[in-house]
A and B are shown apart, each in its own frame.
Chain A
Amino acid sequence: MSSTTKSWIWFAVLLTLIAGAGIYVGTNRRAEPGKSFSYSVDDYRQVDPALLRYAEADGLRPAIKKLSALAVAPDGKIYVAGENAIEIFPDRTVRPVDGTPVCIAVDDDGTVFAGLRDHIEVVSKDGKSTAWPSPGEKACLTSVAVDDRYVYAADAGSRRVWRYGKAGGAPFEIGAKDEANGVRGFYIPSPFFDLAIGTDGSLWVVNPGYHALENYSPEGRLISSWQNSSFGIQGFSGCCNPANFALMPDGSFVTAEKGLPRVKIHNLDGSLRCVVAAPDQFDNGVTGLDVAADRQGRVYVLDPARGVVRIFEEKK
């Protein structure tokens, strides 16, 4: 072998060593976190297709911004609240509100009871607004409901439900701890506290810390309750779930959850009936899902992240 060839071989070896050292230094050799350190919640985002008994129909896209609340009126019209306004479908008329309602309820005559943070604003059909006095310094209203006699407001700040007459006035208190009569009080870790009025005039209220729904008479007597805590699809988990709910025409409950966003229907005893919308049907990190149902059993879901009202119909 000639000396020139040997020199070239030396050159190639040296170059290979330098390249190897460069790759060694430049490569990250740290191990990825092992099994013990990884935690996937993907399994909890998956839903058995057999449970998904609703299909999405064409939704509503309101003109108003920062959607915050949803209600279906007795006449079937859809009321959507947002920044300083309430938009009504299908008319697409807009009623101005001084502030952004957190929750709304609609009376038979089209009067809207809008819950702002610390008080109720009554917005009549012709757009006139009247503010009711705040129920207290701690008030943080999160839900309102109206029937032919009363207006109920859920107050997460003072952990009470306030029952008003249609004309307002001093409210009657529901939900104070009364262990002798089985009322354990409302446990509200974060401001998600919903209520709805049943067809019999009784009041259904979420007790979110217990993952429970409690049924009260208008006088505040506890009639019944159910609770269903679980990380799985069959119950509710974490803080303040169900975050929102509405009653279906047959008395069952359509619920919306925060954290892991999903919309489900639970039977009267709290058992899971079916899933309306799975977590994968929502954007990551969506909050503020509100639900409502109409007399035909259609489920309306307010999706603030997409700025739409999504409509789900039972599969035929």
Chain B
Amino acid sequence: MRPAAVTQSGEEERGVTPAVRPVLLAMTLALGCLPAVEPVAAKEKTGVMPGFTVAPSAKILLLRPRIRVGEQSTGGIFEPNADWTDQAKANMLAALDAQQAQLGNQVIMAEEPIGEDGLKLADYRALFTVLADAVERHQFFKGDRLPTKKRNGVFDWSIGPEIRDLPGVAGADYVLFISTRDEYGSTGRNIASIVGAFAGRSVTVGVHEGQAGLVDARTGNLVWLNSDNSMGGDLRTPEGAQRRVAQLLEGLPVHAPPVAATPASVAAAQ
């Protein structure tokens, strides 16, 4: 989401004094269009607890995924689209179900509890988000690694064994968290990108982020996390959703499936 040229210094901005530029940037931020801030250093995408493999014929409890699909306006703001999001949710669940069934696993959609259980579940969803963000920032991103995460092969994160007490978790082997955000470039955004290229301004088109994490339902340990800022696969179509799910689950160590037809990416990860 690189919006207007206010974030870019250049001779073209001689019209304003340098002092105005940070003000302009601040005001642009206040308008809600954030410039893309990509870490310069390389960032890892996947982490696995050493020695972890998904147990054979595992029961995987899927908590309600956070899926947002919409358009990216010319100026770079997110335009949520309810139809696309509904399609994406249905397609993703179907693709996930098909893929895991192929591996002999069972994906169970978590029920939505009410009352105290609902609060607890919300707590854990929030906790997972914090945990996953911390992993991304302090382990995947090498520039800001915590001292305890610096040794190679260490992947030691947990949200605590009390996750067992959540409704539905007792009968499951793993809890799966998924969130995706897709912003498809609008016509205006695409034109702006082309015009921008002529004007010497870089205008990125589209945002396709996804995150998937697997938590051991008995120990609360985060056994696998995958996070990708440039995902492929269009969730609005069944085929695209299959590709997206394969990418989301990339690097998840699984046992050899009962049938030979394993998606190439998963086989490669083994």
* A, B from the same assembly: no
Interface residues of A (CB under 8 A from B): none
